[in-house]
């Protein structure tokens, strides 16, 4: 009897674009893809941080290069992706949160969050897919969403709305591009400890609320995301598309 063999999690020979790679979850995703053998293009607005990360990854034997990119600027993003692509893998970790009570939401905050989390994510995903379609190549497109794409939360109406929207266009794009071998999915983390979220965790009442909701009893670390991204980027997830991978410690189980 011939035993089945596990599909490879390796990404050798694949080119991966990681948006929002200069810090936090995006940086961790870039390192994970590089460790799995991908040639990683690091994209964000802060070129100095990207250059430093690229040098560190190269010193560790990985393939990495920097690409200045503002996902909120759709025209510039489309041009940059068209010039630098095609990319076999996209991980979009660029995002924005401005929390307030719903009654206090300003149009400026709404437009800023929606402009990056929905519009920017939509057209970045589209740009990478166009490159794959033109090249006749399959690919894996991953948007870093949130557990808040599946639930609600206090002071997070705008953020939740944008992440619910990401789940919607992910499903539609997956349907449209599936026959071309282009898979589209999201990763939905719980609260992850990064420099950007440290202020929230330093507030005892908010940290207590978070730890009470996470059934595993601990906050997330960036390392908790890395394996999931490699899985979705690789052939190990060849039949996975149009869905979300929740990494929430059981937050949404109830």
159 is catalytic: yes
Contact by Cβ (8 Å): 7, 234 = yes
Identify the CA nearest to 140 among candidates 88, 188, 78: 88
Identify the CA nearest to 119 among candidates 170, 185, 73: 73
Encode pLDDT of 96-139 as tens digits.
Answer: 989 889 999 999 999 999 999 999 999 999 999 999 999 999 99
- Quote the pTM value: 0.95
Residue range 164-175: mean pLDDT, rounded: 98
CA separation for the pair 115, 106 (Å, rounded): 14
Instruction: Output the pLDDT for position 200.
Output: 82
Active-site residue (options: 87, 122, 123, 159) = 159
Q: Which two tokens stand for residue 174?
A: 């997956």
Instruction: Output the pLDDT for position 203.
Output: 87
Identify the CA nearest to 165 among candidates 95, 116, 117: 117
Structural domains of the chain, ranges and CATH numbers in brackets:
15-247 (3.40.50.720)
With residue 172 as reference, give the H or E element that holds it: helix 157-177
The pLDDT-based confidence of 166 (bands split at 50, 70, 90) is very high
Residue range 63-70: mean pLDDT, rounded: 96
């Amino acid at each position: 009897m011939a035993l089945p063999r596990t599909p490879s999690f390796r990404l050798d020979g694949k080119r991966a674009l990681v948006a929002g790679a200069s810090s936090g979850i995006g940086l961790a995703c870039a390192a994970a893809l590089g460790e799995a053998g991908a040639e990683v293009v690091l994209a964000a607005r802060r070129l100095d941080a990207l250059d430093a990360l690229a040098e560190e990854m190269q010193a560790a034997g990985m393939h990495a290069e920097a690409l200045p990119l503002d996902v909120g600027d759709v025209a510039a993003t489309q041009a940059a992706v068209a010039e630098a692509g095609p990319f076999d893998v996209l991980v979009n970790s660029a995002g924005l949160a401005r929390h307030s009570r719903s009654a206090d939401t300003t149009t400026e905050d709404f437009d800023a969050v929606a402009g990056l989390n929905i519009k920017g994510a939509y057209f970045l995903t589209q740009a990478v897919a166009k490159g794959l379609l033109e090249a006749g190549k399959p690919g894996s497109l991953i948007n870093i969403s949130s557990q808040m794409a599946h639930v609600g939360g206090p002071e997070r109406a705008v953020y939740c709305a944008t992440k619910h929207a990401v789940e919607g266009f992910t499903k539609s794009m997956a349907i449209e591009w599936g026959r071309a071998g282009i898979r589209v999915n999201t990763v939905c983390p719980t609260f992850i400890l990064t420099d950007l979220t440290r202020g929230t965790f330093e507030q005892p009442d908010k940290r207590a609320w978070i730890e009470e909701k996470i059934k595993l009893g601990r906050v997330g670390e960036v390392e908790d995301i890395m394996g999931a991204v490699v899985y979705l980027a690789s052939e190990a997830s060849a039949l996975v598309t149009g869905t979300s991978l929740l990494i929430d410690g059981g937050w949404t189980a109830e």
